[in-house]
Amino acid sequence: MRKLLLPLLAAAAACAKPAPAPSAPMATVTLLTTIGDSTTHIESVAMFGGKLYTTSWAGAIYEIDPAAPTPRVVGQLPLPKGCGYLGEVADSVGDLLIACADSGTIWRVAHDRLGAANFDPKKDAKLFITGAGHANGLTIAPDGHVWISGGDVDAMYHTGPNGGKAMVFAEHFSPLSADTTMPVRGYVTNGAAVDSHGNIYTMNTGTGTIWRLEMLADHKLGTVTKVVESPLLLGADGVVVGPGDTLYANANFRNSFAKVSPTGAITVLASDSTNPGLFHFPAELVRDGKTFYLANLNFPLGANSGSRPGASIVKVTLP
């Protein structure tokens, strides 16, 4: 998301803050940890073996133990010119897949190399997927297929479990918001998730839309369905699937976290208005049962205007 947002930060600080979203007192929110300093940006969070992983835009890979949440740098990615690291996911053996937006590539780091004293970015970060233009959100389906959202490219990509050249699964389904004052409007396919039927979800940040892409046999696209479009989801960024195919999503521009039923009913579970000072432009998230960990990207936009405390991860626990 960096490519579009950085030039607009100064202008965006003057944007009016959205009205507080209706909220339900159904979540406990705490600050888990801060990452780096006030200049650090993180957009991703993954989980494996009870540990959290996030990667800064500068390519530093952090490991966080929620029980003792002091971040530890466990690796460093090579930084292609103009790249920013966005989505991240852990596979079934704990290897990390990390998206580099500007090069449209996905890097893979073996779990057993994380934290190694002789970690070498040139050897330990392997180019795994190419051709996923402006790669943003990542998810891995139960069959090992990797799904990649295009961010400010109106496309959803995929590869088999062995990576390689990304293939377009769906495109030209998520139109750009007409609101030219909204700095994040260009992110028309943001986040990626898969439900119990194998259907793929992604979101339009500028319109607050969630899309369901039907999965047919042989990974072919079926019907594209608008699950919901709402001002409550303006800034829709990260999305995960919970029990009963309920969706949980961050809205970065609103500084909020919501659940969305399969029929599109929205419940705002937590926001900056109910938890002041904890949400700072939340981007990707990961679920661990009834606990969610949200990566605060830390941009002074929308409901987060004027705020710049640093990147962080917050813990949200449902009853």
Residue 11 is predicted with a pLDDT of 41
Give the CATH number of the domain where residue 307 resides: 2.120.10.30
Residues 138, 144, 148: CA angle, nearest 5 degrees: 20
Q: How far apart are CA 54 and CA 43, in angstroms?
A: 8
| Structure confidence at residue 25 (pLDDT) | 54
The pTM assigned to this predicted structure is 0.92
Total number of domains in the chain: 1
Q: Strand order of the sheet with strand 125-130?
A: 85-90, 96-100, 105-109, 125-130, 164-165
Given a contact cutoff of 8 angstroms between Cβ atoms, the answer to whether 104 and 158 are in contact is: no
- pLDDT of 82 reads 64
What's the pLDDT score for residue 17? Answer: 47
Residue 118 confidence (pLDDT): 98
For 69, the token pair is 């949440």
- For residue 271, CA distances in Å to 209, 277, 307 come to 18, 10, 15
Residue 282 to residues 9, 248, 300, Cα–Cα distance (Å) = 16, 13, 11
127: domain range? Answer: 2-13+20-317
Per-residue pLDDT of the chain in tens (319 residues, 90 and over written 9)? 555 454 443 344 334 444 444 445 579 999 999 998 888 899 999 999 999 999 999 999 999 999 999 999 999 999 876 678 999 999 999 999 999 998 999 999 999 999 999 999 999 999 999 999 999 999 999 999 999 999 999 999 999 999 999 999 999 999 999 999 999 999 999 999 999 999 999 999 999 999 999 999 999 999 999 999 999 999 999 999 999 999 999 999 999 999 999 999 999 999 988 999 899 999 999 999 999 999 999 988 999 988 777 899 999 999 9
